[in-house]
Amino acid sequence: APHAQGQQRPAQRAGAVASVAQPQKATWSGTTAVSVVAPGAGTRANGSVYSSLGGVPDFQVEVAGHSGAAYDCYPENWRQGRRGQNLESFASELLQQGIVDSKNLLVFGSRGGQVVLPYLWRCRGNAVPPAVVINGGCANKLPTPTLWPEAAVTFLLLGGKDHFAQGLSEQAYLAQSKSHVPPSNRTTAILLVNEMEHMPQPQLLECILQPMMRAVLAWKKTGAASVQDLGRIREGLQKA
C-alpha cells in the first residue's frame, strides 16, 4: 500500500461553462451537488474515476469546463501567462454561473487549485463550498498570494513524486504546504502520498477520492473533523 503522511489542523459533463444548470441554493438534504473543475483535474487520464462518482446515489456530479480549452492557461502575471481568456476569466464565469451557491463540494487539480480556487476565495471567501484539491495548488508559492478563508474546509492531496514539490523531501514539501495555510484556519487537512506523481495513479484516486469528499462534507456540516471519515481514507490507501 502507498505510504502516506498527513497533517490536520485541530458525471454529468457540463460541456461549456455556459451550460451549467441554473443555480439553486445548496442544501444538506437530498443529493449532494459536486462540481469537478476540469482544467488540471485529470478528467481524461482519470476519467473512469470521475465517471464512477456519477454512479454514487447521493452524488450529482458535474464536470465544469474542459482541459485544453482557450481559457486553460495561466493569467498574465504568471510566467508564460496571457491576457484575455485564462483560468481567472474561467473562474469568473464559473462564479457568474453560480458555482458557489449551487454546489456542496468542489474538486480541483493542479492549475485549477492554483488559480481557480484562489480566485473564488478572493471573491466569496468562506461562502465557497468545501474543496478537495489534488496536488494542493492553493498551498504553492503563487504570483498572487492566496487569501485563504479562515473557515474554508479543504483537503489537500499531495504527491511525493509531484513536480510541484520542486525536489523537496516529503517532509519539507509537507511543511512548506502547511506554511501557506493561515494559523487561524483549523479546517484544512493535508495528505501526502509518497508514491503519488503529479497525475494520481487511477487505482490510488479511485480508492481515496470518495472518502476524502465525504470527509470534507461532514466536516463542513458538523464543524469538526470525523476520525471515522479520516480512517476510511487510510483504509482506501491500504487498498491502493
The whole-angstrom separation of Cα 165 and Cα 148 is 20
Under a CB-based contact definition with an 8 Å cutoff, are residues 62 and 23 in contact?
A: no
CA angle 158, 163, 166 (to 5 degrees): 100
Question: 166 pLDDT band (50/70/90 cuts)?
Answer: very high
Domain count, the chain: 1
* DSSP 3-state of 7: strand
The 10s digit of each residue's pLDDT in 56-81 is: 999 999 999 999 999 999 999 998 89
CATH code of the domain in which 204 resides: 3.40.50.1820
**Of 18 and 199, the one with more pLDDT:** 199
Residues of the domain holding 204: 4-239
- Name the least confident of 7-11, 70-74, 183-187, 207-211: 7-11
The whole-angstrom separation of Cα 213 and Cα 106 is 9
Average pLDDT of span 172-198: 96
* DSSP 3-state of 6: strand
Model pTM score: 0.88
The whole-angstrom separation of Cα 222 and Cα 232 is 17
pLDDT score at 117: 99
- Name the least confident of 25-29, 82-86, 100-104: 25-29
Q: Report CA 205 to chain centroid distance, whole Å.
A: 13
Q: How is residue 225 written as a grid cell?
A: 473533523
Specify burial of residue 129 (Cβ count, 10 A radius: 0-12, 13-18, 19+).
buried
